[in-house]
């Protein structure tokens, strides 16, 4: 390891411990600058994505990793502006049009076009109890399975309960999103819709990087000294004989 790479490792360790000076130094050195991932045959998965992909291989379509969200609109709704806002959101974020395909035995992220994406619309205003019907629609949508290879892994449904009462259902698979991202999507959808209603231009700055760029960076890190150090640490922590926990169980512990 060169002196420069050794210094970089020390800075990263200090930054992980919360040292603001180390974070500032890494920033100044361009450590956090996004390096664009080369296309090739798709892009590699991050470590978290790979875990979810393996689970899906064992239990295809498992809804446990669905991430449902719902937004209620009371009052006049400009459906055309909402439709355009959703489309712009999908165009903006590659993860919303990403699928996971196996190429050469390895899972790869494939970023598709936004052309095939559409806002699904369901009119339940004629139901005896539109709210109950909308709740059932939301529950059904939350449990509907995703096909990681076919996609889309983001679906949006506008449920009409009345002329001035709507419910927007947004469900994603966890492999392309997380709770932090959901908050970002809500905020950006609101900004895009507001701009659309006002007839204004695109209100959001262009993105400097996408999730595939983070995944490529993480894979490079884990393939280098950082990853080796982490693996060595856990081998030491988990190596050797491990005492079984004396917990009461409903079945006898099998011999290992």
Angle at 105 between CA 100 and CA 110, to 5 degrees: 25
User: Residue 58 is inside which H or E element, if any?
Assistant: helix 47-58
Tell me: the pLDDT tens digits for 139-172? 999 999 999 999 999 999 999 999 999 999 999 9
Q: In terms of pTM, does the model score above 0.85? A: no
In this structure, the number of other CB atoms found within 10 A of the CB of residue 46 comes to: 20
Tell me: the pLDDT tens digits for 42-75? 999 999 999 999 999 999 999 999 999 999 999 9
Say if CB 109 and CB 212 are below 8 A apart. yes
Say if CB 81 and CB 197 are below 8 A apart. yes
- Mean residue pLDDT of the chain comes to 91
Tell me: the pLDDT tens digits for 15-48? 777 777 877 787 777 666 545 555 557 999 999 9
Tell me: the pLDDT tens digits for 124-141? 999 999 999 999 999 999
State residue 37's pLDDT score: 55
Picking from 209, 212, 170, the residue whose alpha carbon sits closest to that of residue 49 is 212
Query: Is 111's pLDDT higher than 60?
Result: yes
Say if CB 99 and CB 148 are below 8 A apart. yes
Q: For residue 112, with 0-12 CB atoms within 10 Å meaning exposed, 13-18 middle and 19 or more buried, which class applies? A: middle
CA–CA distance, 198 with 212 (Å, rounded to integer): 33
Polymer length of the chain: 256
State residue 28's pLDDT score: 77
Banded model confidence at residue 1, pLDDT cuts 50, 70, 90: low
CA–CA distance, 182 with 67 (Å, rounded to integer): 9
DSSP β-bridge partners for residue 105: none
State residue 160's pLDDT score: 98
169 CB-near residues (< 8 Å, 6+ apart): 68, 69, 70, 137, 138, 141, 155, 156, 157, 158, 159
Tell me: the pLDDT tens digits for 245-256? 888 889 887 876
- In DSSP notation, 89-157 reads HHHH-GGGGEEEEEETTEEEEEE--STT---EEEE-TTSSSHHHHHHHHHHHHHH----TTT--SEEEE
Query: Is 14's pLDDT higher than 90?
Result: no
């Amino acid at each position: 390891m060169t002196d420069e790479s050794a210094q970089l490792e020390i800075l990263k360790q200090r930054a992980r411990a919360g040292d603001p000076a180390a974070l500032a130094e890494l920033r100044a050195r361009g450590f956090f600058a996004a390096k664009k991932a080369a296309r090739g045959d798709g892009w590699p998965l991050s470590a978290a994505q790979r875990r979810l992909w393996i689970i899906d291989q064992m239990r295809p379509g498992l809804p446990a990793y669905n991430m449902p969200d719902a937004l209620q609109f009371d009052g006049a709704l400009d459906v055309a502006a909402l439709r355009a806002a959703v489309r712009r959101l999908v165009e903006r974020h590659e993860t919303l049009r990403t699928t996971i395909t196996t190429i050469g035995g390895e899972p790869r992220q494939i970023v598709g076009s936004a052309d095939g994406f559409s806002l699904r619309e369901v009119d339940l205003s004629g139901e005896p109890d539109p709210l109950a019907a909308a709740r059932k629609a939301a529950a059904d949508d939350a449990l509907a399975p995703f096909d990681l290879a076919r996609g889309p892994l983001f679906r949006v449904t506008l449920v009409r309960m009345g002329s001035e009462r709507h419910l927007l259902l947004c469900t994603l698979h966890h492999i392309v999103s997380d709770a932090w991202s959901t908050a970002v999507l809500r905020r950006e959808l609101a900004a895009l819709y507001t701009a659309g209603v006002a007839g204004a231009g695109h209100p959001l700055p262009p993105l400097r990087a996408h999730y595939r760029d983070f995944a490529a960076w993480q894979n490079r890190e884990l393939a280098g000294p950082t990853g080796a150090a982490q693996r060595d640490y856990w081998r030491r922590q988990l190596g050797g004989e491990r005492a079984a926990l004396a917990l009461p169980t409903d079945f006898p512990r099998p011999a290992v």
